[in-house]
Amino acid sequence: MGVEKLGEKDPVYEELVNILGDRVSKDPEIRWTYTRDLEGPLTTDLKRLRRLPDYVVLPETTEEVQKIVLIARNYKVPITLESTRISVKGLAVAIRGGIFIDLRRMNRILEIDEENMTATVQPGVTIAQLSCELQKRNMLIPVPGTPATVSVVSNYLGCGWPGGKARMLSIGLGYRSVVGVEMVLPDGTILNTGSKSDVFIGKDFWPHGMGPDLFLLPYKAYGAFGIITKMTVKCTPIEKELKVFWIAYDNIDSAMEAHNRIVRLDLVPNLHLYAGDKYAGYANDTLESHDRMNRAQPEFQIILTLAGTKRQVEYQEKVIRKIAKETGGRIIVDKLPIYQSFIDSHLGMAGSFGAVWSMRYYTSRGGSWTSTPTLPVDKIPDNWKAFSRAILKDPDYGDPNFGRGEFWRSIIVYPVEGGHYVWGVEKGVDLFIQDPKCREMLLRLHKANLEEQAKVGISDPGFIKDWYTGSLGKPFGVHFEVSKKFKKTLDPDNVMQPGYIYP
């Protein structure tokens, strides 16, 4: 396998060229560009990464992807894939060499069905690309908490970030918006999920197929079970009125009381509970201004999207102001007009108009370490307090020359699907990813956080002892072992994305 030695032929390369022509390369300089991801030093310095793929291919159709998969299966060559090159954590680095499938040329919006409010896209279509087309038709898709250049397909099914933060309370996580997929399995079979799998229907409008449901087969599999070549998603009408509302609190208990009361009323399409550093980056362009706002602003804020008719929005605001008063909250935008910059950012997020705010956030400190368990709402205050204890006891974060932990810790609480549970107690700290101490500190803080959580009876179902080992087996036990049987059946030679989820 790989680049041929002098005088030897390379049958894999020859067959790939027969299919793709000049859209296949084994040029070392081109292959080198595929040895790192968006995070750069943190992932590329690890011994298991920075491996050159043997071939880079850029297919444009499902049929080309199918033929590439059959070649890989025939020669037992590993496949690594990526859509819009916005991957992190080494998920799109060819750690076993082989064929790197770059799906960016599969970037067409195949259909926007206005009557059924769905859109069908290829994996190279970005959030921004689809959002712009939908807005022309007075529709939106929820914008995830990532740059607008991420793939709709990979974000909604990979859930690296929750697809659709702006509508998570009413719509749910990103995968809830998926109606159906077309998927090339490791043996070259083309699978359709959802209503399109029924030969008597042949159209995506309902996510569930006949018999045992394969709707979630690709969810969080990161390509291990096959390659998505088309996906149909639900779209949502844009409301006539949109308004973002901010309530400030000084303690997590009062903030969560208000949070729970608003959620249970089913009053608004979405709300987040933010703390500290997490939202300072959205409205600041420099590290210094970011730091000043961290120290000056209230520690907790509930950020709500009000939406509907003008009369509905007025009623929502009236009820929320009453709850804020009864729980000791302060309507911060009434007192500090400077927060309009936050409002503008989140109104864009709420209306699916873009994600410029996230680009600012990713250039700031505080976005480099997170822990995102899924928890019931009653565990949030204890979870935050445990995390705070871990941060404040840390030798680096207790050092004022490095960064004071009380100012550089953050949390986001995303109530999901009517508030029945919370996705993403996303806890961040002050840390540059380029810092040579980064990996050491992340692991130390993660361990300390889990120890503090254990003291108050909180388990962390999102726990991964060491993400970078490429093994998820220990934390998930029987669940993981059963999924390995699916993998063995679909991909007996372990061709698809080896070394990430499955060794």
Max avg pLDDT among 45-54, 136-145, 215-224, 312-321: 312-321
Cβ contact 273:205 at 8 Å:
no
Concatenated DSSP letters for 245-310? Answer: EEEEESSHHHHHHHHHHHHHTT-SSEEEEEEEHHHHGGG-SSHHHHHHHHHHS-SEEEEEEEEESH
Cα distance between residue 474 and residue 482, in whole Å: 13
**pLDDT band with cut points at 50, 70 and 90 for residue 437:** low
Rounded to an integer, the average pLDDT of 290-316 is: 83
83-92, 98-107, 379-388, range with the lowest pLDDT:
83-92
Please give the structure tokens belonging to residue 223: 């390509």
User: What type of residue sits at position 101?
Assistant: I
Cα distance between residue 419 and residue 424, in whole Å: 13
Max avg pLDDT among 161-175, 261-275, 386-400: 261-275
Residue 503 is predicted with a pLDDT of 78
Residue 164 is predicted with a pLDDT of 44
Cα distance between residue 437 and residue 267, in whole Å: 45
Cα distance between residue 200 and residue 488, in whole Å: 31
The burial of 311, by beta-carbon neighbours within 10 Å (0-12 exposed, 13-18 middle, 19 or more buried), is given as exposed
Of the chain, the percentage scoring pLDDT greater than 70 comes to: 70
Is the CATH code 3.30.43.10 the one for domain 11-102?
yes
Residue 378 is predicted with a pLDDT of 83
Residue 67 is predicted with a pLDDT of 98
Taking every pair of Cα atoms in the chain, the longest distance, rounded to a whole number of angstroms, is: 81
Residue 347 is predicted with a pLDDT of 47
Rounded to an integer, the average pLDDT of 21-25 is: 97
Domain residue spans of the chain: 11-102, 109-237, 241-455
Please, which residues bridge with residue 277 across strands? none
Q: Does 144 or 445 have the greater pLDDT score?
A: 445
103 pLDDT above the threshold of 60:
yes
Cα 459 from chain centre: 22
Max avg pLDDT among 90-94, 151-155, 219-223, 251-255: 251-255
Q: Does 135 or 377 have the greater pLDDT score?
A: 135
Q: Which helix (H) or strand (E) covers residue 331, if one does?
A: strand 330-331
Closest alpha carbon to 130 in 149, 146, 116: 149
Q: Does 130 or 371 have the greater pLDDT score?
A: 130
Phi-psi region of 214 (alpha: psi -120 to 50; beta: other; left: phi over 0): alpha
Q: Does 68 or 206 have the greater pLDDT score?
A: 68
Q: Kindly report, residue by residue over 334-368, the tens digit of the pLDDT.
A: 766 555 555 555 444 433 333 333 434 443 444 44
DSSP class of residue 496?
B
**pLDDT band with cut points at 50, 70 and 90 for residue 94:** confident
Q: Which helix (H) or strand (E) covers residue 15, if one does?
A: helix 11-20
User: b/e map of 317-347 (b: 16 or more CB within 10 Å)?
Assistant: beebeebbeebbbbbbbeebeebeebbebbb
Q: Does 415 or 27 have the greater pLDDT score?
A: 27
Rounded to an integer, the average pLDDT of 224-239 is: 92
Topology of 241-455 in CATH? Vanillyl-alcohol Oxidase; Chain A, domain 3 (3.40.462)
Topology of 109-237 in CATH? 3.30.465
User: What type of residue sits at position 376?
Assistant: P
Cα 461 from chain centre: 17
Query: Hey, CA dihedral for 395, 400, 401, 405, is it positive or negative?
Result: positive
Residue 372 is predicted with a pLDDT of 55
268 pLDDT above the threshold of 80:
yes
Cα distance between residue 147 and residue 361, in whole Å: 10
